[in-house]
Amino acid sequence: MQRLGRSWQRAGARVGLVPTMGCLHDAHLSLVRRARRAVGPRGRVVVSIYVNPTQFAPGEDFARYPRDLARDCGLCRAAGVDVIFAPSDRQMYARGADGDFSTFVSEESLARGMEGAARPTHFRGVTTVVAKLFHLVQPEVAIFGAKDYQQAAIIKRMVRDLNFPVKIIVAPIRRERDGLAMSSRNRYLTGDLRRQAVVLWQALQRARAAVRPPGKTIPAARLKAALRRFIARTPAARLDYMEFFDPATLTPVAKVRRGVHLALAVFVGGTRLIDNTRL
Ligand code: PAF
């Protein structure tokens, strides 16, 4: 992959990367279209498909994370992807003669709260694998989805701090008709759980409505308590965290007004879902 990336670069082709963990759905395909727009018809679009073990903690869903490479390849082909990069764990995390893989990239400020607090080793795995993908593919642009808002902010920071010559584009969240954000993990939502999962979207909508009147501010603690009560009315839902924060710095805010960002993680049955919105 690296040889190919370098040869494209030498030939002056623009290269766009869409990093994914596979089990592709419409939201991924919208990232592919965004990549194509960015690099143009003569550019190269690479989709990486790799369920990265280092971003899962023991006890999380790494082993059962949905994988369907044959289907993913068909979708990529139909979407005009030039190369699918689907490395194995051995290729990504080599165990050489001199021991185990032992170099990691970690962002140490934006990664502290929210997902970082709930999943302490998660972002170190993400930044490490994304740094590796950038070195391997050598893209000029990389496209990430806004559903992982904190992840996108951390990757932008990593790119800035470590001088990666990569432009990061963050594409809007894609939603199902009832508002549920598209995610590979939605596959886990069987039966009535799928219906109950809409509670994340409904909570975001409630927060938006609460600060819709111009100039309205509400103490974050009060709005959190109201949303917590609302989420608790859905039998299968268990709130993991909810945070109101400044969208540029990710710093939590004490007063909620329009323009503040809200992110939340909720277990619906055994499935952990995340979502966010600008209020
Ligand atoms: O957002 C994801 O799917 C993953 O975190 C990523 C960016 C592909 C890294 O494994």
- Residue pLDDT, tens place only, 233-245: 999 999 999 999 9
CA–CA separation, 248 vs 127, rounded Å? 19
Report which protein residue has its CA nearest ligand 1's atom 7: 19
C-beta separation of 102 from 124 below 8 A: no
Task: Say what the pLDDT of residue 175 is.
Answer: 98
- Ligand 1 centroid to 145 CA: how many Å? 9
CA–CA separation, 65 vs 271, rounded Å? 11
Task: Say what the pLDDT of residue 99 is.
Answer: 58
Task: Say what the pLDDT of residue 96 is.
Answer: 58
Structure tokens at 226: 């109201």
Strands in 271-278's sheet, in edge-to-edge order, are 237-245, 261-268, 271-278
Task: Say what the pLDDT of residue 97 is.
Answer: 57
Q: Kindly give the parts of the chain with pLDDT less than 70.
A: 96-99
272: β partners: 267
> Which amino acid is present at 7?
S
Q: Do 2-171 and 184-278 agree at the fold level?
A: no
Task: Say what the pLDDT of residue 100 is.
Answer: 85
Q: Between vectors from CA 48 to CA 60 and to CA 156, what angle results, nearest 5°?
A: 80
Q: Are strands 261-268 and 271-278 parallel, antiparallel or unpaired?
A: antiparallel
User: Which residue in 28, 122, 135, 261 is the catalytic one?
Assistant: 28
- Ligand 1 centroid to 257 CA: how many Å? 30
154 touches ligand 1 (CB under 6 Å): no
- Residue spans per domain, the chain: 2-171, 184-278
Task: Say what the pLDDT of residue 4 is.
Answer: 98
Angle, helices 149-161 vs 122-137, to 10°: value is 60
Task: Say what the pLDDT of residue 270 is.
Answer: 96
- The SS3 call for residue 181 is strand
Kindly indicate whether the domain formed by 2-171 is annotated with CATH number 3.40.50.620: yes
Report which protein residue has its CA nearest ligand 1's atom 8: 20
Phi, psi of 166 (to 5 degrees): -130, 130
Looking at the domain 184-278, which fold is it?
Answer: Pantoate--beta-alanine Ligase; Chain: A,domain 2 (3.30.1300)
Find tokens 């991924």 and name the residue: 28
